[in-house]
C-alpha cells in the first residue's frame, strides 16, 4: 500500500512579541491510503496547528508536504483550491464551526456552490449526503441551534465530505460531545472510511478515543513528535517517558490490576525560541545531562516503532 501523505521536516513558527513560537518543529511521518493516524498530546502541543498546516489553512514555515507524491507547499492559487477539495477538515466544536444563520441544507451545499455546481444538482447531492451521514431529510431547513451536538457534528462531517475528498483531517471532532454520542460519531466515521475509502488524521487529547479509531499513533510534545508506532504496539510497549505517563493516566474499569500513576511534574518548557535539548527534560524523571543540551532524534526502536529519547539512542563507543 502506497503512502498518500508524507510530511518531511515540517515547521510552523509564529512571530510573537516575546519571540518566535515553535508550534510545529521538524515533524516527519507518512500515512498509507485508507489508514487513520492519531495525533495525541496535551493542549498546546501543536497537534491542531499541524493539522491546519497540512490542510493549507496555515502556510508552512519550512519543510515538505507530499500529497500523492506532489509537494503541496508550493502551489498556485488554483492548485491550492484543487488540493483543498481533496483534503478536507472536520472541526472540533459543532457549536461554533457552523454558521447559525444558515440552514442545514445551505451549510452542506455551500462548498458545492463555490465549486460551481448548479443549485438543483447541488440540492440532490446534499440530500444524498444527509442520508449518508445519518441526518433525516426533515432537518434540511432546520438551523444548527435547533439540533443537538451529535446532529450538528453530522452536519460538519457532511460538509467536509460533500466534495468527495480522499483525505480528512479530524480536529478533535468528538471532544465536545457526550460519551454516548461520541461512540455514535466514531462508528459513523469508521463506516464512512470503509465505504468511501477515506484516509484520516485524527487529532485528539483522548487516548481512549485514539486507541479505538487509529491504526497508528503519533505522540506530540511542544511541537515535536516524541513517539510514533502502530496503535497496539504503542499501548503494549510505550517507550518515551511522556507516552508512558499519558497512558498511565487513562481510566480503567479493571480493579484487579494495580496501577502506578505517573505524575508529570515540573514546569513546561517554553515553545518560544526553545533552548537546545529535549523539551520534555524539565519534567522527566529519567533525564540526564545529555537531555538538557542535545535534542534526541526520532529513531527506529523496533518494528514500526520510532522514539525520540536518549534512553533509546545509539550506544556511544
- Give the CATH number, domain containing residue 20: 3.40.50.300
Residue-level pLDDT at 153: 94
For 251, the grid coordinates are 481510566
CA gap 218, 214 in Å, rounded: 10
Strands 19-32 and 3-16, bridge-based pairing: antiparallel
Q: How many domains does the chain have?
A: 1
**272 inside domain:** no
**306 inside domain:** no
Residue-level pLDDT at 254: 59
Residue span of the structural domain in which 178 resides: 3-235
Strands 87-90 and 167-171, bridge-based pairing: parallel
**261 inside domain:** no
**307 inside domain:** no
Q: By the 8 A CB rule, do 229 and 218 touch?
A: no
Strands 70-71 and 199-204, bridge-based pairing: unpaired
Kindly calculate the radius of gyration of the chain based on its CA atoms and give it in whole angstroms. 21
Phi-psi category of residue 304: left, alpha or beta, with phi > 0 → left and psi -120 to 50 → alpha:
left
Angle (CA) 231-232-236 rounded to 5° is: 120
What does the pLDDT profile of the chain (317 residues) look like in tens digits? 789 999 999 999 999 999 999 999 999 999 999 999 999 999 899 999 999 999 999 999 999 999 999 999 988 889 999 999 999 999 887 778 899 999 999 999 999 999 999 999 999 999 999 999 999 999 999 999 999 989 999 999 999 999 999 999 999 999 878 888 999 999 999 999 999 999 999 999 989 899 999 999 999 999 999 999 999 999 999 999 999 999 987 766 555 665 566 667 778 889 999 988 999 999 998 889 999 999 999 999 988 899 999 998 654 43
Angle (CA) 212-218-219 rounded to 5° is: 100
For 282, the grid coordinates are 524539565
Q: By the 8 A CB rule, do 313 and 296 touch?
A: yes
**248 inside domain:** no
**254 inside domain:** no
The total of other beta-carbon atoms located within 10 Å of residue 1's CB is: 7
Q: What is the DSSP letter of 147?
A: S
48: nearest Cα among 94, 97, 90: 90
Residue-level pLDDT at 95: 77
Q: What is the DSSP letter of 302?
A: S
Residue-level pLDDT at 130: 97
**280 inside domain:** no
**247 inside domain:** no
- Give helix 179-196 / helix 149-161 axis angle, nearest 10°: 20
For 180, the grid coordinates are 454516548
Amino acid at each position: 500500500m502506497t503512502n498518500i501523505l508524507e510530511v518531511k521536516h515540517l515547521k510552523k513558527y509564529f512571530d510573537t512579541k516575546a519571540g518566535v513560537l515553535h508550534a510545529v518543529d521538524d515533524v516527519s511521518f507518512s500515512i498509507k491510503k485508507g489508514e487513520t493516524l492519531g495525533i495525541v498530546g496535551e493542549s498546546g502541543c501543536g497537534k491542531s496547528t499541524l493539522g491546519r498546516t497540512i490542510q493549507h489553512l496555515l502556510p508552512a514555515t519550512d519543510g515538505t508536504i507530499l500529497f500523492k507524491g506532489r509537494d503541496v507547499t508550493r502551489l498556485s492559487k488554483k492548485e491550492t483550491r484543487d488540493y483543498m477539495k481533496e483534503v478536507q477538515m472536520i472541526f472540533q466544536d459543532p457549536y461554533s464551526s457552523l454558521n447559525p444563520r444558515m440552514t442545514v441544507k445551505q451549510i452542506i451545499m455551500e462548498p458545492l456552490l463555490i465549486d460551481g455546481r448548479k443549485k438543483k444538482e447541488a440540492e440532490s447531492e446534499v440530500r444524498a449526503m444527509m442520508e449518508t451521514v445519518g441526518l433525516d431529510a426533515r432537518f434540511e431547513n432546520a438551523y444548527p441551534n435547533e439540533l443537538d451536538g451529535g446532529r450538528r457534528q453530522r452536519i460538519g462531517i457532511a460538509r467536509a465530505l460533500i466534495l468527495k475528498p480522499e483525505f480528512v483531517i479530524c480536529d478533535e471532532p468528538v471532544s465536545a460531545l457526550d460519551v454516548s454520542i461520541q461512540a455514535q460519531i466514531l462508528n459513523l466515521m469508521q463506516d464512512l472510511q470503509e465505504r468511501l475509502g477515506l484516509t484520516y488524521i485524527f487529532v485528539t487529547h483522548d487516548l481512549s478515543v485514539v486507541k479505538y479509531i487509529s491504526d497508528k499513533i503519533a505522540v506530540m510534545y511542544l511541537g515535536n513528535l516524541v513517539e510514533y508506532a502502530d496503535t497496539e504496539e504503542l499501548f503494549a510497549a510505550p517507550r518515551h517517558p511522556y507516552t508512558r505517563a499519558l497512558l498511565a493516566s487513562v481510566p480503567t474499569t479493571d480493579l484487579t490490576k494495580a496501577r502506578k500513576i505517573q505524575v508529570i511534574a515540573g514546569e513546561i518548557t517554553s515553545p518560544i525560541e526553545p533552548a537546545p535539548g529535549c523539551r520534555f527534560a524539565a519534567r522527566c524523571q529519567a533525564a540526564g545531562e545529555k537531555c538538557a543540551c542535545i535534542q534526541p532524534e526520532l529513531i527506529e526502536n523496533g518494528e514500526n516503532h520510532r522514539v525520540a529519547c536518549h534512553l533509546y539512542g545509539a550506544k556511544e563507543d
